Homo-oligomer: A and B are copies of this chain.
Amino acid sequence: MSKAKQLHGFLWLTRPLMQRVEDMVRRGLEGTGLTVRMRAVLEILDARGALSVPDIARALEVKRQYVQLMVNDVIEAGLAEKRDNPRHRASPLIALTEAGAALISEVLAAERTRAGDLADDFTEEELETALRVAERLTGALSDGDRT
């Protein structure tokens, strides 16, 4: 099989794979009161600390107006809170509350456990290669069209 054909096959697997991943995540969220979009906000605040709404939007690659909705969700749920932003009086930083930090840790730990189970079926080299290919491909496709 040609490389082009292999890559085409890989590219078209990304959609069903992504859907299954999101379904898995959604199941992991059952009982937590979280939605997938709330989880995304909590995860990035957990990884990067307090951020403003536009910061989160850039990280998630969605519009800031939509991030406002996501952030409103988590604030309303008591999982994050606004803090003064020294760099912009009217644009507060969004930070995890204790409850939010505890919840996202728990969720991520459960996901890691599940990922560990799945990872048992692969060698470290396979996973390393798959990750590297996906990363480089994502980068190449971000640059815009060269064709």
A interface residues (Cβ-Cβ under 8 A, vs B): 2-24, 27, 61, 111-122, 124-138, 140-142, 145-147
Contacts and interface: CB of A to CB of B under 8 A. Distances in A.
A117 B131 CA distance: 20
Copies in the complex: 2
B141 A130 contact: no
B61 A16 contact: yes
Contacts of A146: 117
B131 A20 contact: no
Contacts of A133: 122, 126-127, 129-130
Contacts of A23: 141
Given A4-B112, A15-B21, A24-B145, 19 more contacts: A3-B116, A3-B119, A5-B115, A8-B111, A10-B130, A11-B115, A14-B17, A15-B18, A16-B61, A17-B18, A18-B18, A20-B142, A21-B141, A23-B141, A117-B146, A121-B136, A129-B129, A129-B133, A130-B130
